A and B are shown apart, each in its own frame.
Chain A
């Protein structure tokens, strides 16, 4: 009986807690566990909540929560054991009855029509049910019981269905049966000779977040076909135990029921709940609807259904779920859902139902691609032809590398035209202000600081948009999934299988959301290892620095150099992952399915939306952190005013003007003196002092104090490296409209033993690029690592580790490069 059926002052012992996921966990955490004695303190009819006593304390449960707890009452115990009852019953007797009752497992058999479900049902029960499809509205189910290994199995054979949508009465019946009756275990019978279609139903059961065991029926047919199926790996990936069976011959039955017992007792090593990834855009809308469901749907529905499942069903336009939400929720849930559907359909230019269906088949395709090799595994012809190259064991890699190279080449080659236009616009604005503003500190701040510093970063906006255009096209066509798929094979060997890829991919955009997305990795060690290697993925903030340096020193083969920088980051991540997994963390892989959705032509709206979002973020950063950093850097490079230097140069210039030299000579010398004065003032500024303070540490890497300062300010955000160089080299501007890259190329040492020598050489540039790639990820990333790992220790470790590694790598590059 249900706990909610016990009357005031009655006692019962808990047999099992039904329900799923978070709801079940919460109830169990409250102390309602198998074998516990519970007494009803107050249960007024039709009143909520009900008051209970358990483990010596009082607790209230809502009626619908109590209805999920099965108990053995005194009355039931007496019936079961025929005890001599004299008004008092020993709690041990009650517990013994509960133990016996707890050995009853309720099973629901679900599967596609003709998957051999009823054959299995007949075989285990000895029944002679007619095997065949159900039809019309007269759908029903048969339940039989039998004993095995001390357990009583109540098996219900449900109608065969291809899915759990609300299209046919059979589908609806099966779905409602599972939701209403809450079977302990659902056995999904699959026709092993037709895996792709049969696993579709499995994906829906996974979404429902229920305990599932899969019977791979007719496994002999699969073997006869010569197909090779690594079902153990597939089971681990999807978190559903799989047992090969041949129901007609009774093969695999014992193994199947042993597995069911393990799952029932929550001690199956494979069983876990996973989330099928429906793609970036769909997942975003699922999250929006889920939040609305949390806030505005009746608690009893949320406890009964997984909110993610509800959100997916609403996106699929499931009429039954929509009606349920309409009945028990606020109109806002339906409104939010309709808006999400419109947005999703607008972006992907397809019906939301089709989008979800395609994603499910993509999930299945990805899962089978890794585990199944067979003659009958068919896919969409177009997808099959492209995949034969894109995911080929050998050709897949050169194709991937070529496409990556093409992306970086285009970023540079196409990007240089709009980049020049923006640059000219900035020079025009600078000239305009220079001519129309009266002299003063604010004018200097605007021209030498803000315009020069922010402008030097702004010019790279087109390059960033081009990069994201390519990434967006790769994602939307489905190629990115293939890239991840082929890389997964390599990464699997270094202990970074599966889910680690998603954060690493996000890391190319920005490392902060990448660190946050490591939450999807269940294993803590894997999660921290992934967090520590995410900073090696070159984020878009580092791109302006790369473009500046590469444009100045390697413009003839810029795309290739840029590609190599990114590739170096990936290789470093791989090496560090190997080291971390070998020495710091014990490797523990959690299998994961790489979805392989069918190829599709990306929609214009989707691509533009991604680029627009990226442009917005970049401009926002420009008007925020970068602008503020530029003001501070300008201040530090212009203060304190050094009166002695000013007076010395002013006196020299005055003397020069009174000399007998020709006017041209005087002007040339004055210009040189003013340049020298500005350089000396800058060296004596707060920024100069800071630069000279850190110079001894960075000079073995070939860097001067200005580069040191830029690296230091880059801690705030990597674009600030470019802004800082923009502000610093603005001082040297002698009126020529040179671009920052030209100024860097011609930069010379102002003092010391290297005075007059060029600061930069190609080898210094490579050393600098390597340092930028590896060193201290920005402050926000460190804060994210600390927060997500739950300890500042890992944030600190990341700072020390990346910066030390950057120093060593740059040192080796510069010192070795200087020899040749």
Chain B
């Protein structure tokens, strides 16, 4: 019984982890900073 509970717990936690990872990769906003003072750089892609 304990083994079954532990197994299901591991499976559920793994699914939660994967979903969280997918969220972080595709949807969470990244905090990035533009480079300093490069007037020549095309900054449009550096958000």
What residues make up the interface of A, taking CB atoms closer than 8 Å to B? 20-25, 209, 239, 272-275, 290-291, 294, 306-308, 438, 440-443, 445, 519, 522-524, 527, 624-625, 627-629, 631-632, 635, 716, 779-780, 783, 787-790
Contacts and interface: CB of A to CB of B under 8 A. Distances in A.
Nearest to A523: B42
Contacts of B45: 519, 524, 527, 788-790
B37 A273 contact: yes
A632 B14 contact: yes
B1 to A, nearest CB: 9
Contacts of A307: 36-37
B4 to A, nearest CB: 6
Given A524-B45, A787-B30, A442 B25 contact: no
Interface class of chain A by DSSP: helix
B42 A628 contact: no
Contacts of B13: 628
B37 A445 contact: no
A274 B40 contact: yes
Contact of A442 (B4, B38, B39): B4
Contacts of B17: 624, 628
Contact of B11 (A443, A624, A635): A635
Interface in B1-41: 2-4, 6-7, 10-11, 13-15, 17-18, 21-22, 25-26, 30, 33, 35-41
Contacts of A524: 42, 45
A-B pairs, top 8 by smallest CB distance, nearest first, are A21-B37, A440-B3, A272-B40, A442-B3, A631-B14, A22-B37, A628-B14, A441-B7
Most interface-central of B3, B4, B17, B46 (chain A CB within 10 A): B3
A557 B8 CA distance: 45
Contacts of A209: 37
A272 B17 CA distance: 46
Contacts of A23: 37
A693 to B, nearest CB: 21
Most interface-central of A442, A524, A632, A783 (chain B CB within 10 A): A442
Contact of A631 (B11, B26, B38, B46): B11
Contact of B41 (A438, A522, A624): A522
A425 B33 CA distance: 45
Contacts of A306: 36-37
B42 A443 contact: no
Contact of B25 (A294, A780, A790): A780
Contacts of B10: 442, 445, 631
Contact of A632 (B2, B15, B42): B15
Given A24-B39, A442-B10, A779-B25, 17 more contacts: A20-B39, A21-B38, A23-B37, A307-B37, A308-B36, A308-B37, A440-B4, A441-B4, A441-B7, A442-B4, A443-B3, A445-B10, A519-B35, A522-B40, A629-B18, A632-B14, A779-B22
B42 A21 contact: no
Contacts of B38: 21-22, 273, 275
B14 to A, nearest CB: 4
Most interface-central of B2, B36, B40 (chain A CB within 10 A): B36
Contact of B36 (A21, A519, A790): A21
Contacts of B44: 790
A303 to B, nearest CB: 10
Contacts of A779: 22, 25
Given A21-B37, A307-B36, A443-B3, A632 B25 contact: no
A22 B7 contact: no
A617 to B, nearest CB: 16
A406 to B, nearest CB: 37
B25 to A, nearest CB: 4
A275 B36 CA distance: 10
A20 B25 contact: no
Contacts of B6: 442
A442 B41 CA distance: 55
A522 B14 contact: no
B47 to A, nearest CB: 9
Contacts of A523: 42
A263 to B, nearest CB: 13
Most interface-central of B15, B44, B45 (chain A CB within 10 A): B45
Nearest to B5: A442
Nearest to A271: B40
Contact of B18 (A21, A272, A628): A628
A661 B18 CA distance: 51
Given A442-B4, A635-B11, A519 B25 contact: no
A711 B20 CA distance: 22
Contacts of A716: 18
6 contacts: A273-B38, A275-B35, A442-B3, A522-B42, A783-B25, A783-B26
Contacts of A20: 37, 39
Most interface-central of A209, A290, A628, A635 (chain B CB within 10 A): A628
Contacts of B14: 627-629, 631-632, 635
Most interface-central of A20, A23, A294, A519 (chain B CB within 10 A): A519
B22 to A, nearest CB: 8
A519 B38 CA distance: 12
A445 B7 contact: yes
B40 A273 contact: yes
A635 B18 CA distance: 14
Contacts of B2: 442
Contacts of B26: 783
Nearest to A788: B45
A788 B46 CA distance: 8
Contacts of A789: 45
Nearest to B26: A783
A593 B30 CA distance: 31
A575 to B, nearest CB: 26
A25 B37 CA distance: 9
Most interface-central of B18, B38, B46 (chain A CB within 10 A): B38
A442 to B, nearest CB: 4
Nearest to A449: B10
Contacts of A445: 7, 10
Contacts of B7: 440-442, 445
A524 B45 CA distance: 9
Contacts of B22: 779
Nearest to B27: A783
A627 B13 CA distance: 11
Nearest to A23: B37
B36 A22 contact: yes
Contacts of B21: 625
A402 B30 CA distance: 41
Contacts of B18: 628-629, 632, 716
A635 B7 CA distance: 9
A628 B14 CA distance: 5
A762 B45 CA distance: 45
A25 B40 CA distance: 11
A24 B37 CA distance: 9
A716 B15 CA distance: 13
A296 to B, nearest CB: 15
B27 to A, nearest CB: 10
